Amino acid sequence: MSGIRRDEHEAHEHGGAPQPHERHQHQHAAHHQHEHAAHAQRPQHEHAAHAQHPQHAEHRDHGDHTGHAGHAGHGDHVALYRRLFWWMLALAIPTVLLSGMFASIVGYALPDAPGLRWVSPALGTVMFVVGGRPFLTGAVDELRSRRPGMMLLIALALTTAFIASWAASLGFADHHLDFWWELALLVVIMLLGHWLEMRSLAQTSSALDSLAALLPDEAERETPSGIERVAPAALRVGDVVVVRPGARVPADGAIVEGSASFDESMITGESRPVARGAGERVVAGTVATDSGVRVRVDAVGDATAIAGIRRLVADAQASTSRAQRLADRAAGWLFWFALGAAAITAVAWSALGAPDDAIVRTVTVLVIACPHALGLAIPLVVSIATERAARGGVLVADRLALETMRRVDVVLFDKTGTLTAGEPTVLDVLAVDGDADRVLALAAAAERPSEHPLARAIVRAAERAALDVPDASDFSSSPAVGVTAVVEGARVRVGGPHLLDEEDVAELPAVEAWRAEGAIILHVVVDGEVVGALRLADAIRPESREAVDALHRLGVEVAMVTGDADAVAQSVARELGIDRVAANVRPEHKEREVARLQDEGRTVAFVGDGVNDAPALARADVGLAIGAGTDVAIASADVILASSDPRSVLSVVELSRASARKMVQNLWWAAGYNLLAVPLAAGVLAPFGFVLPMSVGALLMSLSTIVVALNAQLLRRLDLDPAASAARVLDAAPWAAARQEAATVSA
């Protein structure tokens, strides 16, 4: 029954109203294993049936960027570019300093030592072959795909500088064509840019590996000779396995003996343990929280629920189209621009009867077109932006999300754990005699021995109210009924409809309004008489309203998807002002809600945190995972919100817009240098007596790189604290409206 609502079968051991079909995030597998012993010592879980109730986008494929050699494995490329950068930097220093052309430009004399003039050619050749290899290989790929980009432009400059420099060193060409220093700087700067880029793109974990980690390391299978421990992969349909308290179910199957409360949050998104008894199905990866059961396996391997979710994640990732990088497009344009300018230069100077000048000018054009600043324009912005984001609680796993987030026009929130706290909270206490504190204290006393989430919520509420909770004795629990304890000599019981039936008492009429909201309703019975009732629900985060309001101010529609009953979903939507709601959604259908919005032509950001959110996170244009969520949700997302503050979404929007501005500014500056320097180097002003000297061209190249670097540094001023982002948006909107009104009046 994984993912299927059971509203009409409410058997909350306290018998509450239909509950949210959302995740209460259970901690990671290691945490569960750590708690096995503790679970085994707990009393029979009195809340065994606590929660039985009804139950176009492109993901960044993190693969190779078209035309880029070997970008398929970002983790490997981080190490590759890092090693290459440091080795090439060490070689570049003597190559540049001992270059005759560089010495001439800067104005110092090289020592007259034997063989010194061959140091730069020798080291430069090593740098060309070793340091330039990734770019040369990438250029070949771009040529084969007929899509020139950054790699081909870099390779063009490197190859031209290499051939011209050897020609000058051997005396076959003008000494002004000694570009060893330029080749060395280009290799180092490009390696630095790509190292930064690969580091910003590298994923910290694999979504599919995280899903596989939900399964236990071994299963206990019954055999005629006793219990044997085997790997889950060795199980076959029909096998009977023992699932002990606190252990994970190794394969999908049906309970043949026993009953227990199962934490299904990692799979179904259910926010609290669900009671399962004989004949009911359980899903691999879920946890028996209180008692042990025997399960007959009916699905293994690819037929399990986890395998189905894995397929959804993989399909969503594989079906996405690859976005052409902005810098690559600019490099492609510049490649054709440089080739065209070089051809025109060669023809023009040759026609003027100056073949030597034609060679010098043509080579100069091709080398000056090398994208020093262009190679750093995007990676520097990404590196600084992701660092600033991390300080604001936003971890960028996919830099393409930065470009996409500014275009998002609808944010789809998963409810529990994002807009709500993801755990039950006591919202109201009703007392027959008006003494609500007394009712809460008695309930807390009876529930205190329990480890169930609802019991803990009641105890926390009493602690927050600073109530004097009396001691209890003779504690007992009854699955699907409630708890019983002796408190100050009175028999106190806390539970739901089944408890009221046992006591043959009626529920308080005032709780009908609570039931209409989908709240959990627990009655408190003292010596056979109802003295009060408690309303519990998944509390809305105080920051959620501000987040929704700010998104609306930005012109972004806010939607919510949940497995809850419609009454619960609509109640939350009304309180927060959410535009669109999809309720009663099974886990695997959350992805469909994303796809439905995309089919309307919307650019969708999805915010979630559970395993069941992974396909939707992967399918969305931008997937944002709550950092406190599961490993697989985080691994499937483009952006991880380290906190659970929904206002962090605003930080991502601001980061996206600021980063996009800096990228465009840097690209224009980097490309602008080429657009200005290339014609001057070609000699377009030669008829007026001006030809760009190589030394000036070199200074312009350096200046362009410095300006790009400094402009990127301005991103460090951006404060991405969620509260600060929300305050800026909410404060700026009225100001912007007033400015627009003033402009209209003035016109």
414: annotated active-site residue: yes
Nearest to 138 by CA among 155, 125, 126: 155
Strand pairing partners for 490?
A: 487
Tokens read off for 191: 């390696």
Residue 682's CB is within 10 A of a number of other CB atoms, namely 23
Report how far residue 456's alpha carbon sits from residue 474's, in angstroms, rounded to the nearest whole number. 19
Q: HSE (CB half, 13 Å, CA atoms) of 336? A: 10
DSSP 197-217: HHHHH--SS-HHHHHHTTS-S
Ranges of H-type helices in 42-132: 74-97, 100-106, 119-126
DSSP 234-282: G--TT-EEEE-TTPBP-SEEEEEE--EEEE-TTTT--SS-EEE-TT-EE
Instruction: Give me the residue label for tokens 């007992």.
Output: 476
DSSP 469-498: PPPEEEEEEETTTEEEEEETTEEEEEESHH
Angle formed at CA 30 by CA 27 and CA 32, multiple of 5 degrees = 60
Grouping H, G, I as helix, E, B as strand and the rest as coil, residue 535 is strand
Tokens read off for 553: 């101010």
Q: What is the CA radius of gyration of the chain?
A: 33
Q: Which of 7, 414, 609, 645 is catalytic?
A: 414
Strand order of the β-sheet with 240-243 is 226-230, 219-223, 240-243, 293-299, 252-257, 281-282
Residue 204's CB is within 10 A of a number of other CB atoms, namely 11
Report how far residue 387's alpha carbon sits from residue 402's, in angstroms, rounded to the nearest whole number. 13
- Catalytic residue list: 414
